[in-house]
Amino acid sequence: MEGAEEGPRKAPRKKGFAAMPAEEVQRIARLGGAAAHAAGQAHKFSKEEATVAGKKGGAAAHARGTAHRFTSAEARSAGAKGRASRKKSSGGTSDDTDVG
């Protein structure tokens, strides 16, 4: 094109949710989620569905190389928290042993 100036292009202006602060987007999303639950239209994951979704997300993160690599100390801490949570929800009987 003759007469058109060549130069660096400006990035397009952000619109909608992209232009809002993250806190505002989160607040609006929370309201929408609450409304969906109140209307009985929100999907509630079963334990099995949540497990499949978590494995799928973890596999994708590992494939991209963005998955968190736990240190031995972090893994021990997470395991201890999980065991404590299971004991608490099962009544915390003394015969709960970690078999594994």
State the pLDDT at residue 100: 44
pTM tops 0.75, yes or no: no
Q: What's the pLDDT tens digit per position in 27-85?
A: 999 999 999 999 999 988 899 999 999 999 999 999 999 988 889 999 899 889 888 87
Question: Would you say 68 and 83 are in contact if contact means Cβ atoms under 8 Å apart?
Answer: no
Both tokens assigned to 60 = 């994708």
Distances in Å between the Cα of 9 and the Cα atoms of 5, 6, 12, 13 are 10, 9, 9, 12
Rounded to the nearest 10 degrees, how much is the dihedral formed by the CA atoms of 67, 72, 74, 78? 100
Higher-confidence residue of 2 and 47: namely 47
Q: What's the pLDDT tens digit per position in 71-100?
A: 999 989 988 988 887 777 776 554 445 544
Is 61 a member of any domain? yes
Same structural domain, 54 and 22: no
Q: Which domain holds residue 72?
A: 46-88
Is 24 a member of any domain? yes
CA 19, CA 15: separation in Å to the nearest integer? 5
Q: Which amino acid is at 14?
A: K
